[in-house]
Amino acid sequence: MSEEAQHSALSTQHSALPKGLHRYTLLAGLLLAFAGLLPFIAPTDFDIWWHLRTGQLIVESGIPYYNDYSFTALGHPWVVYEWLSELIIYLLQQAFGYVGLVLLFGAVQVGSGVLVYRLLRFKGAGRFLALMLLLLFFIFAAPTWGVRPQIIAALFLAAYYLILLRYRRDPTRVRTLWLLPLLTVLWANMHGTYVTGLALVALFVVGEAANNFIYRPPQPTPLRPLLLTLIGCLAASLLNPYFINLWLLPLGYISTGGHNPLYYVDEWKPLDFHDYGNLLLAGSFILLMLAGITRHVSQAQRQGWRIPLHRYVDLTDALLVAAFTVQALQGAYTTPLYGVIVLPILAQGLVRTLPLLSRRNDVPPPPLEGRVNWLLGAVGSALLATLIIASPQAQVGPQPRLDSSIPYPVGAAEYISKLPNVRMYNDFGWGGYFIYRLYPQQRVFIDGRVDVYRGPVFEDFITVQNVGVGWREILTRYRVNLVVIQGGSVLDYALAHESGWRLTFHDSVAVVYQKN
């Protein structure tokens, strides 16, 4: 019997245990509640503004195919790979206010955590180990949290992984695989990370084929359903408004070379392990190396192997660990996906190394403690909700907060809205807010849609921002007659001493310079 089948039998056995709530399960539940409530106190994300405006544009005039928000890339083809998310965001905000979005994305964070917890238990983790690794997953995911479409990636990926693992454990459950093409249709229209789901299915096909070929197990994993599922997912991903162009979008980042705007976005930069926040990720690498993904098998079990190995290596797990570790090293944006895939494999290795951590050793709580823990869970969740929602920075209004820890140029936007014929240079992070506040009367220089600005536009933006060689010529070439930036920046100092520009507005957040 395989390890996963043994853990399945254990799951059935434990389902018959008394229904009291164990203390570690209680803590896991409170951790999930905290994760679901965090969007209430998360700062307003820079990109939510253009997401809202795009959702409105879709409702009023249909899905856009060309950029109309910025004059620097006016008419540039635009693949709105989040169009369905933006439509949902806009409609929900119109119906329930911004607090409706907070509740939705909080629920997505909880759902991701629940599925990761189930994956950990599926791989044999006891309650304590599952709690610790769930905490680690939330630490990996926290930098990307908030009202942001990208957080759905962890939810979808965890669902894919659980479905594939269940099929591998019990190949008679073929019908569950056909959930994956249906999920792909949704994911491909909600966020560009759908390619990670396709990669997961492909890696499963290759890994299981390799396991079947090398180890010749008595009950090999049937590959035909997996191949058909992969083909179904690929076909389902084409059911989007942009058809094959959605597939081509990631290739554009490869072809741009040094002009790739992702190089300048913090969460896409390669991880720096001098940053203490990334040491936990490094710690998971070390634990994985110590626990390993191999297991000892007897000489009799090795009979018939095509390659004379001394230990069994699950080649599907090996491929997943390699692929998602490499992906995680590319930037903080992908570390939640690493957590979804690799932490359950780490749990399996730790259980094999330290059997005390296995769910085999789980015992039910004493009857009284089990009942009290349910009460403590309800009270604790209510207390967390009260403390967070009642905090001064809580997002409970109809509109996103403008006075969060991220400052927005509210006064500057009001000032610019009264000016005619403006071609403005603006800070990268403020572009989305200006789109929300000023479009269609005014267009921006740049905003958070980095896929639209591949090529020289982003390089020009960086040159001006850093007052690099030729910055004056760049402003002239784009016929910029207004600059709105953060006060105290290098560009602020340069323009203050530049003839031909005058300061026409300033407050505690922004300064506005206009050309004479």
Contact call for residues 388 and 394 (beta carbons, < 8 A): yes
The per-residue pLDDT for 404 is 72
In this structure, what DSSP letter does residue 219 have?
Answer: S
424-426/482-486 β-pairing: parallel
Residue appearing with tokens 């594939």: 164
The per-residue pLDDT for 302 is 65
Residue appearing with tokens 């992070």: 429
The per-residue pLDDT for 392 is 85
Task: In whole angstroms, give the CA distance from residue 64 to residue 204.
Answer: 36
- Encoded amino acid at 135, one letter: L
The per-residue pLDDT for 292 is 74
pTM above 0.85, yes or no: yes
The per-residue pLDDT for 410 is 95
415-428, pLDDT tens digit by residue?
A: 999 999 899 999 99
**Residue 42: strand, helix, or coil:** coil
3-state secondary structure labels for all residues of 396-412: CCCCCCCCCCCCCCHHH
Regions of the chain where pLDDT drops below 70? 1-18, 252-274, 276-277, 296-304, 309-310
Q: Phi first, then psi: give them for residue 312, nearest 5 degrees.
A: -90, 125
The per-residue pLDDT for 475 is 97
The per-residue pLDDT for 293 is 75
The per-residue pLDDT for 215 is 86
Task: In whole angstroms, give the CA distance from residue 137 to residue 160.
Answer: 17
The per-residue pLDDT for 260 is 59
The per-residue pLDDT for 374 is 93
